[in-house]
């Protein structure tokens, strides 16, 4: 299993994870659920009209936090926005209801992945594993 597959599997187990950005000098976090592993990268998406998208484009240093009931994951890196029809087609296939809502409302989905990612999986008191993604 690759490191990206480990992170993706953890996010699958957690179902909901928290995406952290900054707004000026203030930390901001919000729940996310969508992620997609494609060609060795984990893609995330959110509306380009949302504050989170504006924040990650202003300061791409972000972190994902997830808890699967026993362990937690920290995954950080620099958000790299992508505009790729192949990736968007995969998103449409993986999340048709989400994309139907976006289409119905005239919203644009902003897609991104984390460059130079680093992840760690740990329990509250011990580190299980840390690796580059």
Q: Residue 133: which pLDDT band, with cuts at 50, 70 and 90?
A: confident
CB atoms within 10 A of CB 1: 7
Give the pLDDT band (50/70/90) at residue 129: low
Answer for the pair 75, 129: CB distance below 8 angstroms, yes or no: no
Domain, as residue range, for 46: 3-132
| Domain containing residue 75: CATH number | 2.30.110.10
Q: Reply yes or no on whether the pLDDT at 26 is more than 70.
A: yes
Total domains in the chain come to: 1
Pair 52, 30: CB distance under 8 Å: yes
């Amino acid at each position: 299993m690759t490191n990206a597959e480990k992170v993706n599997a953890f996010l699958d187990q957690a179902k909901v994870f928290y995406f952290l950005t900054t707004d000026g000098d203030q930390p901001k976090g919000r729940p996310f659920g969508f992620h997609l592993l494609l060609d060795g990268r984990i893609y995330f998406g959110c509306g380009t009209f949302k504050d989170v998208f504006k924040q990650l484009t202003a300061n791409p240093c972000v972190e994902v936090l997830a808890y699967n009931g026993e362990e937690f994951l920290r995954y950080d890196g620099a958000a790299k926005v992508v505009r790729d029809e192949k990736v968007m087609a995969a998103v449409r296939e993986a999340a048709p209801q989400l994309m139907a809502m976006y289409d119905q409302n005239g919203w644009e989905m902003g897609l991104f992945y984390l460059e130079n990612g680093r992840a760690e999986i740990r329990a509250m008191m011990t580190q299980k594993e840390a690796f580059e993604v």
